Structure 1
Amino acid sequence: MGGSPSCQIAAVDMKGPVAEKVNEKIKSNCVMIFSKTYCPYCKIAKKAFSDIGVPYEVYEIDKQPDGAAVQDVLDNMTGARTVPRVFVGGKCIGGGTETRQLYKEGKLADLVQQSCEKK
């Protein structure tokens, strides 16, 4: 039942410097989007926040040397490795599709207001 080493998943250090950086970015920004510059779903998520006039912080994974490690941490935290990973008030709301759906339903601005004014 061993399997080859190339099929084994490396453990993610959730107490290491990359995880600390990810957690700090999520904690210190009301809206935090982990994105890739070329990703159409990332553009959808950013546009939703722009359209309601809500500022957001973006970490462009594809422009950072630790991008793959950041994506590993996000996968461990949220159960998904895909981008965008969108956080509002410290909680992951999903990706571009979920963000756009909240926007279409008129719920995104309320979510930001409820999640971020408490801080």
Structure 2
Amino acid sequence: MFGWLTSWFQSEPISPELKKEIESTINSQKIVVYSKTYCPYCTATKDLLSSAGHLQNAKIIELNTDPKGSAIQNALQEITGQRTVPNIFINGQHIGGNSDIQKLKQENKLEKLLEQ
């Protein structure tokens, strides 16, 4: 009985093509933010990037409007260990979420990272 029940909550295996697509996006863009349009933490991240003048350089992928959004989110969890959004990458490096980028800004480390 539990096998049937837990099967409802297991995600489908991530295709190698999707992982390659995500990794290509991450490595070809200075800033990548996997986001959801209704998420207040995502909005805070985008506001921070905007106020720092970097939003125009960012690739924002809204998972709730992308047809592959759910699969992308599952793949990101597999790649980074993080399921929540925003899921932020700078210079191909996984930064984490909103609290992580806010901390970088407070510690005056964000600009240095973005200048690389």
TM over 0.5: yes
CA-atom RMSD, angstroms?
A: 1.6
- State yes or no: 1:49 paired with 2:49: yes
CA displacement 1:21-64 (0-9 Å, x = unmatched): 21121111110000000101111111221122122110000001
Q: CA deviation at 1:20?
A: 2.2
**Between Structure 1 and Structure 2, how many residues are aligned?**
112
Return the TM-score normalized by structure 2: 0.87
Q: Does 1:15 align with 2:16?
A: yes
How far did 1:102 drift? 0.8
Deviation at 1:5, TM superposition (A): 3.2
What amino acid is the match of 1:97?
Answer: S
Note the residue ranges of structure 2 that are not aligned, 5 or more in a row.
none
- Which residue is equivalent to 2:83? 81
Q: 1:13, CA displacement in angstroms?
A: 2.5
One-letter amino acid matched to 2:60: V
> What's the CA shift for 1:14?
5.1
Q: Is the 8 A contact 1:12 1:76 kept in 2?
A: no
Aligned residue number for residue 117 of structure 1: none
Q: CA deviation at 1:111?
A: 0.9
Q: Runs of 4+ in structure 1 displaced over 6 angstroms? A: none
**Deviation at residue 6 of structure 1 after TM alignment:** 3.4
1:104 aligns with 106
CA distance in 2, matches of 1:41, 1:5: 34
For 1:7, give the aligned amino acid: T
Question: 8 Å contact 1:32–1:88 — kept in the other structure?
Answer: yes
State the shift of 1:3 in Å.
3.9
2:92 counterpart residue number: 90
